[in-house]
Amino acid sequence: MSTNEAALALGHTFHQALVSGDWDGIRALLHDDATWTLPGDNTISGTADGADAVVERARRIASYGLNFELLHLLVSRENMALSLHNTAHREDAVLDEYLATVCRLRDGKIASIETYLSDVPGMNAFFV
């Protein structure tokens, strides 16, 4: 399997685990020292340090009932990114955002994640 094919497979596996709530599956994809950085000023913003914290962040995001629509999987020479359209509805708030979740890879696992968002104010209003 080529490096690009491996990165694409890793991206598909990460997305499927997120959608299905397979937290052990996500944990298996991460280095122990993995990080996940999100912009904004809300309950999921900032940097999660360590694989267990990254999994807890994924669990917390999913707990808000998000639909994680995968638009594209993108690869670079060494890394991959998921292009997503996330939506969710609550009685008092609506989330409708596009994002790129950039995963830096090391030895076939995710070493760090950084998420870029189209609507940081909307994210701040939703994740309270």
Structure tokens at 120: 């940081």
Q: Answer yes or no: are the C-beta atoms of 69 and 84 closer than 8 Å.
A: yes
Residue in the structure block whose two tokens are 């890394």: 79
pLDDT of residue 69: 98
The pLDDT-based confidence of 92 (bands split at 50, 70, 90) is very high
pLDDT 10s digits, 9-67: 999 999 999 999 999 999 999 999 999 999 999 999 999 999 999 999 999 999 999 99
Q: Answer yes or no: are the C-beta atoms of 108 and 120 closer than 8 Å.
A: no
Residue 113's H or E segment, with its range, is strand 109-117
Can you tell me the distance from the alpha carbon of 123 to that of 23, in angstroms, rounded to the nearest whole number? 23
The alpha-helical segments, DSSP class H, found in 1-128 are 3-20, 23-28, 51-62, 120-126
pLDDT of residue 2: 76
pLDDT of residue 1: 67
